[in-house]
Every structure is written in structure tokens, then in C-alpha cells.
Structure 1
Amino acid sequence: MKFSVFTASTPDWTPSQAAETLAAQGWDGIEWRIVDDRPADGTTVPAERAFWAGNESTWQYTGITDQVGEIARITDGAGLAYSGIGGYQQASDHEGVETMLRVTSELGARQVRVSMPVYRQEKTRTGETYPQLFDRTRADLEWAVSRAADLGVKALVELHHMTITPSASAALRLVDGLDPEHVGVIHDLGNLVIEGHEDHLAAFELLGPYLAHVHVKNARWVDTGDTRADGSSTWQHEWAPLRSGQASVSAYLDDLRTFGYDGWVTIEDFSTDLPLAERTADNLAYLRSLVPVTA
């Protein structure tokens, strides 16, 4: 397996700092986050939101085609490979998806995430039923896969809570019958603590050739101390260090090896128990202890 870091989880570093630091620590690759995340009104982003807004190692989507050379210069200069590109363009945004597929092709990064629609936000349905969203997104994905094939890259569907693909079963239903050379699934350990958990080995076997990429983070559920009107307890999820979340990273990697997966494992640790540089270094040491490097 090869290990990389998704820069959504490195908000304190500029792209150059992220690449240089991760390379010095011994990571194999990097997964660049590309999205417009600067507050339009210039407000200061709270520290707990810095991963997703005002992240210093995020490349802004606006004007991204003009930044391809700089991304390549920084990545190649650090001696890092691309585990993929962390895109945020919705499958329904054909122009945005086309742009991200082209950028991925020009960089030689091979694969890029295409965002799936959210079904419910804060328990409020977006307006369309699940079947309506599914059918529309299947058509959008078919288009994306045809463009990916033309450009020699792969579109990735992530398992993510509150979207129409929270589980391996749901994702397989969406991609089934499409060319696995140009569409695949990102299996995400931490997201599955929140929604969509299925036995991991069974999920890998179910996905088969569509298992294209792996994201690893960890999470846990905590009792808020509040109660509902009926007297029942309320719980909420929070991100946790790799070692102390509810999921077993060790067992997860064992299942990946049992399945025969030998691709990228990308870390996106949103915990803040350790300072960033210590966190990334410790995560790599932990992964290496679980998957020793072989000659």
C-alpha cells in the first residue's frame, strides 16, 4: 500500500509547506483539495472550521486551469506522487466536472472525486425523493464516465454520510454496469462510522473492481447530555484520532490486504488533539507499524 494525505486535513500549511513537510516525513503522495473556500465577506474563519473554509493548502477552483503548472511544480519538486485529486464539483455540474477531469488528466493524477448530491441537510429533505436524485445522478455519472474515458482518467464516487451513496451497496447500485477503468468508489472508514457501515471485507468484495481508492480517518459518537421531548438521549458524531475513534484502523487495513487491495490509502485526519506536524508524522508512523514496508 502507498500512503498519502488529503490536504483538506492540513489547513495551516501553504501548498509548498504541505508538500515539503509531507515529503520530509516520508509520505508517498498527496491528494490536493480543489474548491473555492475563501469567505466572500473576508470574515475570519473559526479554528474548528479551518479544515473546510480558508484552508491554506487548498487550491481555489476558480482559475484552477491556470494553476496546473504550479501544482505540478510543487508536487514534483517535493518528489510526491498524486493519490488523486479531491474535487468538489457536483455530478450535475457538467462544466465543473469537465474542468476537474481535464486538470486531473493534465497533472497525470489519474483519478478525481466527483461529488454526489445530498439527500437531507439537517434532517430536511432537499426536495427530490431518493429515486429522483438517484436517476438524475446516474445519468450525470454516465456522462462523466464517458468524458473520463476520453481523457484517460477515472471519476470517483465517495462513500459519504447524508449523500445518496453513504454505503458500498448504494455506491455499487449507482456505478454498476459502468466501465470500472473510468469510474470507481472511494471507501471511507471514518464516514462509515457516521452512516453506511457494512462489514468491510464484504463491502470490498461487493465493490470488486470498483474499489478504486481508500480514505482513512476516524470518528466517534458522543452523548450530548441533552434529551429529546420523549426523554431519549441525543448523540452526535465528532472526528477522532486514528487510534481512538470507534473504527479499528488495524482491522480495516487487514481486511484490505485480505481482499488484495494494494493501492492508495489517503489520510484525512480532522482531529486536533496533536499539532498538525506531529499529527501527520504520528499517523504515518502508526500506518507503517500496521503495514510494514517490504523490500
Structure 2
Amino acid sequence: MRFSVFTASTPEWTPAEVVANLKEQGWDGVEWRVVDQPAAAPSSDGTAAVGFWAGNRATWPLTGLEESVPEILRLTREAGLGMSGIGGYAQASDHENVERMLAATAALGAGQVRVTMPRTDTGEDYPSVFARTRADLEWVVSRAAEHGVKALVELHHETITPSASAARRLLEGLDPAHVGAIHDLGNLVNEGFENHRAAFELLGDYLAHVHVKNARWVTDGSRRDDGSLVWRHEWATLRDGQADVGRYLTDLREHGYDGWVTLEDFSTDLPLADRTRDNLAWLHSLVGANA
């Protein structure tokens, strides 16, 4: 397995700082975040706030992405890092921007790029959204084949593909050379958990990529009108979340997966540099202990 970091989880670093720090810490690669992110609200001192989803300094804008490709390549190559893929946010239905992302992925030699799925809280019935997305995905796969890359569908809570079963149903019959699934350990704590080995077997050739983070369910003791406790999920450190990361890596290896494992730790218990360094050391220890 090779380990990379998704830059959604490194908001305080510029792209140059990302590659310098990941190289120094011993990571194998980077997964660049690409999106036109919303402006961040100013912090209390009036400076621009930094956050995972807004004000993330390690994000390349989707608008003008073509002009950024040479700089992305230069930074990544000079640091001696691989690209585990591109973390895109273009919806499958947004053909113009999916085409842009596929073309950039090919130009970067990154091999694969995430294409996002619709949410399930829009009020539209699931079968209609699913059928429309399947048609969009067929177009995406045809364009991915033309570019010689692979489009990735992430197992993500609150979307139409929260589980391996849902993703397999959506992908069934499409060419696994040009479309696959991202199995995401942390997202499955929130929604969509299935026995990992069964899920890997179910996905089969569609198991294309892996994201690792952790999460947990918490309550502040508040209750609904009917008296039941209110629970919510939150991100946690790799060690402190509900998912068993060590068992997960063992299951992946025993299944025969030997691809990229991309870290996206959205906890804030440790400063960013300490967090990334500690995560890599712990992952290496888990792989070594279970080899």
C-alpha cells in the first residue's frame, strides 16, 4: 500500500507547503483538492479565516484549472510525490466541469478523479435521482475512457451511494477500467456500514481507491419531543473514532488490495503538522504489525 494525503485536510498549508511537509514526513503521495470554494468569513482579527471547506489554502480552483496544471505538476514532481488521484467536486450531472476534471486528470497523469453524487435530502424521490445519475455516469465513463482515466464514485453519507451495495448497483455493467468506487472508512461510520470484507468482495473490480478517516456518534444529552436522545456524528482522530483502522487495513490487504490509501483527517485535536506526522507513523506501525 502507498499512503497519501487529501489536501481538504491540510487547510493551513499552501500547495508548496503541502508537498514540502509531506515529503519531509515520508508520505508517498498527495491527492489535490480542486473546487471553487466559498469565501471564508473573516476571523476575529479581520484576517481571512482558514477552514477545511472554505478558506482552504491547499485547494486549487476549478475555474482556470487548465492554467494551474503546470504548477501542480511541477510542485508534485519536484517533491518526488505521486498523485493518488484528484479530489474533485463536480457533480456527475455537470458535464462541462466533469469534462474539465477528466482532461486535467489526464494531463496530470493522476489516473483517477472523484465525481460527486447527488444528495438524498433534496426532496426528490430516490429512484428518479438514481436513474438520472446512472445516465449521467454512463456519459462520464465514456469521456473517462476517451481521456484514458478513471472516474471515482465515493461511498459518502447523505448521498445516493452511502454503501458498497448502493455503489455496486449504480456501477453495475459499466467498464471498471474507467469507473470505480472509493471505499471510505470514516464516512461509513456515519451511514452505509457493511462488513468490510463482504463490501470489498461485492465491489469486486470496482474497488478502485480507499480513503481513511474516523468518526464517532455523540450526544449532548438533549432529547426530542418524544423523549429519545439526539445523536450526531463528528470527525475523530484515527485512534479515537468508532472504526477499527487496524482491522480495516488488515481486511484490505487480505482481500488483495495494494493500491493507494488516502488520509483525510478532519479532527483538530493536534496541530496539522503533528497530526499528519503521527497518522503516517501509526499507519506504518499498523501495516507492519499485521504484515
TM-score range, shorter chain: over 0.9
The one-character-per-residue Cα deviations of 1:11-58 (angstroms, maximum 9, x if unpaired) are 00000000110011000000000001141xx63269997001110000
Residue 160 of structure 2: aligned partner: 164
Cross-structure match for 1:5: 5
**Structure 1 SS opposite 2:12:** coil
Aligned ranges 1:150-161 → 2 under 5 Å: 150-161=146-157
For 1:126-178, what per-residue CA distance to the aligned partner results, in whole angstroms no more than 9, with x for missing partners? Answer: 13210000000000000000000010000000000000000000000000100
Deviation at 1:292, TM superposition (A): 2.8
Gaps of 5+ in 2: none
- Measure, in 2, the Cα distance between the counterparts of 1:49 and 1:117: 27
Tell me if the contact between 1:45 and 1:54 (Cα under 8 Å) persists in the aligned partners: no
Aligned twin of 1:91: 92
The TM-score with structure 1 as length reference comes to 0.95
For the residue of structure 2 that corresponds to 1:233, the secondary structure is: coil
Alpha-carbon distance between aligned partners in 2 of 1:211 and 1:198, rounded to the nearest angstrom: 14
Rounded Cα–Cα distance in structure 1 between residues aligned with 2:165 and 2:77: 37
Rounded to whole Å, the distance in 1 between the matches of 2:32 and 2:43 is: 20
CA distance in 1, matches of 2:42, 2:59: 16
User: 1:225 and 1:116 mapped to 2: Cα distance?
Assistant: 33
Render the CA deviation track for 1:236-277: whole Å, top value 9, x for unaligned: 111000011000000000100110000000000000000000
Counterpart residue identity of residue 179, structure 2: V
Counterpart mapping for 1:1-295 below 5 A: 1-39=1-39, 43-44=41-42, 50-120=51-121, 126-292=122-288
Structure 1 ranges of 4+ moved more than 3 A: 45-49
Match of 1:123 in 2: none
Question: Given residue 131 of structure 1, which amino acid in structure 2 is its aligned partner?
Answer: P
* Counterpart Cα distance in 1 of 2:19 and 2:72: 10
- Partners in 2 of 1:142 and 1:221 — Cα distance? 36
Change in CA separation of 1:157 and 1:45 when aligned onto 2, cut-off 3 Å: farther
187-196 vs 218-227, which deviates more? 218-227
Structure 2 counterpart of 1:44, which letter?
A: P
Q: Provide structure 1 residue ranges, at least 5 long, that are not aligned to the other structure.
A: 121-125
SS in 1 for 2:17: helix
2:100 & 2:260 partners in 1: Cα distance? 24
Q: Is the 8 A contact 2:12 2:50 kept in 1?
A: no
TM-score under structure 2 length normalisation: 0.96
CA distance in 2, matches of 1:152, 1:290: 34
In 1, the alpha carbon distance for the partners of 2:42 and 2:183 equals: 33
Give 1:76 shift: 0.5
Task: Provide the C-alpha distance between the structure 1 equivalents of 2:236 and 2:85, rounded to a whole number of angstroms.
Answer: 24
Helix, strand or coil at the partner of 1:230: coil
Q: Provide the C-alpha distance between the structure 2 equivalents of 1:34 and 1:246, rounded to a whole number of angstroms.
A: 29
Count of matched residue pairs: 287
Asked whether the 8 Å contact 2:42–2:49 carries over to 1, the reply is no
Whole-angstrom distance in 2 between the partners of 1:111 and 1:292: 28
Matched letter for residue 24 of structure 2: A
